[in-house]
Structures are given as structure tokens and as C-alpha cells.
Structure 1
Amino acid sequence: MYRRSFRRSPGSASVSKRRPGLSGKMFFVAGAKNTASVGGNERRSIYQKFREVDLLDKKKTVTALKPGEDRAILLGLGMIFSSVMMYFVLGITILRSYAESAWTEEGVCVVLNSTVTSDMNCSYNCGSDCWRVSKYPCLQVYVNVNNTGRVCRLSHNEETQDASSECFYVPRCQKDSGQMHSVIMNISERLKAQRQVPCYYDPSEQRETVLLTRLYDHGVVFHSLMWPSCIFLGGLLIIVLVKLTQYLSRLCEEIGKLKR
């Protein structure tokens, strides 16, 4: 009988020897893939948490800014409304008196005569439902307007002209008539000493009197309109800045969405 010897081929031996290493490598690759997937999931979860926190902060910021923007707009609208009301009040008082005044031209008046003609009666308040009579001297001043030979009577302002068509100045009525007399005499001496004074006259020459001063001249009108104008522009600027901030915020959000 022949003995059969079975010999293992080299290929089979090498395959059997390589199997443990191959399985180890496959385990290592699979473990690495699992670890990478776990790390990626952790990174994604961390990113999502940061993203949620960022969105929450943005929502809180928007929620906090919204009432502030509303208050700023209300403040601007309130300032504009207040300035319009001030314009209305000034329009029926100062601007109306300024526009209706006939003494619009400014010139130079030469004092010709300044004398006290007579005593005028006035009444002053001495208590509740109590009025008493006092007297003040009536000062009449005549001037030559712009050296044109036109002689006119000089009055202090529009109120004096309305109160008395004859006297230059009407003092505040009081019990002590001697004090009023001294005030009028001081005014007369000053006019005589100056000789030439600035005055306002009617260019149409319909008024026979000229004014030493005007209640509402160009300077008064400018300063009275300056403050309402500043308030109006301030309120308008606040509204424009708030609207511009909102527009830029929306523009940044749209740009951020496009980049994502």
C-alpha cells in the first residue's frame, strides 16, 4: 500500500496565516470609521448648540431693540408734533403781528422837539376789585425822517401807538405819580442828547407816526422760529436714524442668509 502524504500548498498556508492580521485590520478600519462618525456627530451637536445659542441671542437682541426703536420713533413724532404746535402759536401771535405791521422800513430820525405837554390819567390796581386813578406826563417827540423834511411824531412801539396816539411813551400806571414823571423826563433828556435815533416808518406814508422800536423785528422772528425748527429737525433726524438702522439690520440678515 502506498502512503499518501498530504501536503499543504503554500498558498493555503499563507492564506491561513494572513487571516488573523486581515481581521485585525478590518476591525481597526471599522473602529476608526465608527470613531469618526461619533466624533462628527459630537461636532455637529456642538455646532447645533452654538447655533441655537447664537439664534437665541439674536432673538433676545431683536426683542430688546424693538421696544427701544418704537420709543425712539414715538419720541421723534412727539417732537415733530410739538414743533408744529409751536409754529401754530407763533403764527397767530408773533408772525401775524410782524406781517400786519405797517412800519417795515428802517431809517434815521433826527429829534426836532421833545416836550411834556400835559398830564394823562391812568388807573392802577389797588386790590381785589379796587382801581384808583393816577397821572403821568405826556411826552411828545417830533422827528425828521431821513433828513427828507418829513416831520412825524415818534412813538415808542406798536403797543404805545395803540394805547395813546399822542404820547411817546406810556409807563406802567402806579400810585406814585412822581416816579412816573421822573421816568418820562429821563427819556426826554436821552432823546435830546442823542439827537439822531434809528426808527421805523411806513414806506407808503399812510401813517403819520414813526416807531423807535418794533415789538417783533427780524431778530425776534428769527429767534422765535429757530427753536421750533431745531425741535422739528431733531425729531425728523431721530426717525430717519431709526429707519436707517432697521434697514441696515434687515440687509445684514439677508446677506447672512445668502452666505449660508
Structure 2
Amino acid sequence: MAKIRVAYEYSEAEDKSIRLGLFLIICGIVSLFILGFCWLSPALQDLQGKTANCTVLSVQQIGEMFECTFTCGSACKGTSLYPCLQIYVNNSESNSRALLHQDEQQLISNPKCSYIPPCERENQKNSENVLYWQEFWNKDVGYQTFTCYFNQHRRPEDVLLRRTHDENVLLHCFLWPLVTLIVGVLIVVLTICAKTMAVKAEAIQKRKFS
């Protein structure tokens, strides 16, 4: 009776292990699909942009103001204004004039300006923030060469100071789902191997006593 109970508990533990392994395998496959669809596609598009050397041609405020949204609490929001700063650079790859942007997110948010400051409640603080950035590019950067990124096919008249996505995104897209998938496969394989060895051991034991 005790042997039957132990065998039943062992069989139940095996079933749980196999179910866990299959669950991890399914999670790994689904994660690969979701992350590949949500992250991999935009990351690859971003990484297709070429690296170039840029030098500043002009830094100026154009006198146009844009709205931004600030928060002052959980239920407090409002809008304020910031001036539009345009930084034009020379793109060494195409040898053409291009508008510099912080990253692709900023380019999408405001394609006309080079910088969107952290939104403050007072317009004056926003203006001071933009002015500080303007002076930084005029005095600290000046005519020094720096690395920029551009996509000749998507937006040839714009360049980015940094990429939104990099190789780390591709790594995480594959690494963690792949680890989950491998762990699931190992659990299933080891459980099946253990079950097979137990059956063989039981058969050998029966032969000895027969």
C-alpha cells in the first residue's frame, strides 16, 4: 500500500513538472512573438539609420512658441509654452544641411524643433531651459564634430543625437524568452528521462526477484 502511494505521488510530481515545463515553453514562444512584434520591428528600423559625423551650422530660436503639458500633482495638469530652438548641422554622409533632434521620440513629438525642455509651470523657466541648451551648443560644442544618426530613406532632412533603440533592445528581445524556452525544454526532457530511468530500474528489480 505504501509503495502504491509513493508511486502515485511520484507520478503526480512528474505530471506537475511536465506541465510546468510546457507552460514555460509556451510562455517563451509567446514572449518571442510579442517582443519581436512590439520591440524588434521598431528597433531594427531605428538601427538601420547610419552613423555620421555632424558639425553645427547654426543655433537659433525662431520666435515660435509651442505648448507642453506639466503636472503639479495627481489631479493637477496644465499647459505652458516653450520657445522653439533649431539646431542645423552638416551631415558628413550626405554633405547636406539637416535639423538635429534629441531622439526619435522628440522628432515625432515636435519635428520642427531640436529640443523639448522638461515642461515647467512657468513659461519663463521653460525659456531659460531652452536658452541654456542654446548656449551649450553655441559655446561648448561650437564647431566640434560629434556623432549623429540619420536615415536617408525615412527622414533625410533630420538627424538624431542618439538612437531610441540600440543593440541592448535586440538582446533583451531574444535573451529572456529564449532562457524561458530552454528552461521549459530542460524540465520536460529531464522529467521524461527520470521517468524512463525509473521504469527501467523497476523492470530490472522485478527481473531480479522473479
TM-score tier after normalising by the smaller chain length: 0.7 to 0.9
Counterparts in 2 of 1:12-27, with a 5 A limit?
none
1:239 maps to what in 2? 188
What is the DSSP-based 3-state SS (H/G/I as helix, E as strand, rest coil) of the residue aligned with 2:147? strand
What is the DSSP-based 3-state SS (H/G/I as helix, E as strand, rest coil) of the residue aligned with 2:180? helix
**Larger relative helix fraction:** 1
Match of 1:181 among 119, 127, 134: 127
Match of 1:143 among 78, 86, 89: 89
**Larger relative strand fraction:** 2
State the TM-score, normalized to the length of structure 2: 0.80
State the TM-score, normalized to the length of structure 1: 0.66
- Structure 1 unaligned residues grouped into runs of 5+: 1-55
Counterparts in 2 of 1:146-165, with a 5 A limit?
146=92, 149-165=95-111
State the distance in 1 between where 2:104 and 2:116 align: 11
* Alpha-carbon displacement from aligned partner over 1:219-245 (angstroms, at most 9, x marks no partner): 222124322222222222211111111
1:220 maps to what in 2? 169
Please tell me whether the aligned partners of residues 43 and 169 of structure 2 are also in contact (alpha carbons under 8 angstroms). Answer: no
Q: Is 1:79–2:24 an aligned residue pair?
A: yes
* Alpha-carbon displacement from aligned partner over 1:67-121 (angstroms, at most 9, x marks no partner): 2222222222222233333333323321222234485222322223222222422
What is the DSSP-based 3-state SS (H/G/I as helix, E as strand, rest coil) of the residue aligned with 2:149? strand
Alignment CA distance shift 1:123-1:202 (3 Å): closer
- Structure 2 unaligned residues grouped into runs of 5+: none
CA RMSD between the two structures: 2.9
* Alpha-carbon displacement from aligned partner over 1:114-167 (angstroms, at most 9, x marks no partner): 222224221536799987542112111122223763221111122222222221
Alignment CA distance shift 1:86-1:118 (3 Å): farther
* Alpha-carbon displacement from aligned partner over 1:177-204 (angstroms, at most 9, x marks no partner): 2332233233334444243332211244
Match of 1:115 among 39, 52, 60: 60
Please tell me whether the aligned partners of residues 17 and 188 of structure 2 are also in contact (alpha carbons under 8 angstroms). Answer: yes
Query: How much does 1:251 deviate?
Result: 2.1
Task: Give the structure, 1 or 2, with the largest relative contact order (CA under 8 Å, sep 6 or more).
Answer: 2
Query: Identity over aligned residues, as a percent?
Result: 27
Please tell me whether the aligned partners of residues 17 and 191 of structure 2 are also in contact (alpha carbons under 8 angstroms). Answer: yes
Query: How much does 1:209 deviate?
Result: 0.7
Q: Is 1:171–2:120 an aligned residue pair?
A: no
What is the DSSP-based 3-state SS (H/G/I as helix, E as strand, rest coil) of the residue aligned with 1:142? strand
